[in-house]
Structure 1
Amino acid sequence: MTRNARQEPEPAVPRRRSGQLEGQVITVLVEAGQPLTPGEVLEKLGASSGLSYSTVVTILTRLHTKGAVTRRRDGRPYRYGAVSDAATLSASRMSRLLAEEPDRASVLRRFVNALDPEDERTLRALLRETDA
């Protein structure tokens, strides 16, 4: 490379939304249908995930602490299995956040106002279903 040649920066992995990575890991575990080691989870997430082995271990450990996955020792590594699916994990996270707020009505109002029209229709339909 010449002295004046410029290297192109490597494309950065886009930042994930809060909880998105946990959802992806849970989805991998649910789809596998059996407990997986962190290495197997990483393999199923694929190289394009941009994750390291230690990041996957950290996510699995957090999910275990939250009760979202089970784990059992299998030689040196643990094997992790999903307790529920990603939707249940997201709903639990939403419930925990709402429970921390003293003015729940304001939070819910702002949440509904921020929904896109299709999500709002879905929520209203679900509420009607629950009332029936």
Structure 2
Amino acid sequence: MQRLGGLEAEVMNELWATDEPLSVHDLVDRLSARKQFAYTTILTVVTHLHEKGWVTREKKSRAYFYSPSRSREEATSQALRALLDSSTDPSAVLLHFAKTVSDHEYDALQRGWSSRRSEQ
């Protein structure tokens, strides 16, 4: 999965913020609270997001409606995986990261590790 540009990230944040698929008009309206964007600009952005695999689209009448292809959490996990894969020493990165986790995050990691072991 390719990384997101600034406006792409803003569009994805809007898509993640709702359970309903959004049209380009919906996205322009939602983004207008921060800045005015041309319809064609947002159309280009969601087209690129679709090509990159970040969104799915469904045609209803004459418009496409867009939904995230994965949750924010799944996308973040994939970004972390890409960072580890790009490191020359992923074990060292993980060890440094482990020193920074909160108790809540530590508990979540333990639950994930336990469920992984039970699946094997």
Q: Same fold (TM over 0.5)?
A: yes
Quick one: which amino acid aligns to residue 115 of structure 2? E
CA distance in 1, matches of 2:73, 2:52: 15
1:26 aligns with 2:10: no
Structure with greater proportional strand content: 2
| Range that drifts further, 112-121 or 79-88 | 79-88
Give 1:56 deviation, angstroms.
Answer: 5.0
Q: Which residue of 2 aligns with 1:37?
A: 23
C-alpha separation between the residues in 2 aligned to 1:120 and 1:126?
10
Where does the alignment leave 5 or more consecutive residues of structure 1 unmatched? 1-18
Distance 1:126-1:80 versus aligned 2 partners, 3 A rule: same
Kept in 1: contact 2:11–2:27 (CA 8 A): no
Q: What is the RMSD of the two structures over their aligned residues, measured on CA atoms? A: 3.1
> For the Cα contact (< 8 Å) 1:27–1:85, is it kept in 2?
yes
Equivalent residue for 1:68?
54
Aligned to 1:124: 110
Please point out which of 41, 53, 56 is paired with 2:37: 53
Instruction: State the partner residue of 2:3.
Output: none
Alignment-derived partner of residue 81 in structure 1: 67
Task: For structure 2, list consecutive stretches of 5 or more residues without a partner in the other structure.
Answer: 1-7
Q: How many residues align?
A: 108
Does 2:101 align with 1:112?
Answer: no
Q: Residue 26 of structure 1: CA displacement?
A: 3.4
Q: Quick one: structure 1 residues 130 and 22, their matched pair in 2 at CA, closer, same or farther if it must change by over 3 Å?
A: farther
SS in 2 for 1:70: strand
Q: Secondary structure at the match of 2:56?
A: strand
User: Which residue in the other structure is 1:8 paired with?
Assistant: none
In structure 1, C-alpha distance between the alignment counterparts of 2:54 and 2:115, rounded to whole Å: 27
2: distance between equivalents of 1:70 and 1:131? 33
Q: Deviations over 1:84-122 (max 9, x none)?
A: 222211111111221111211011112221212211111
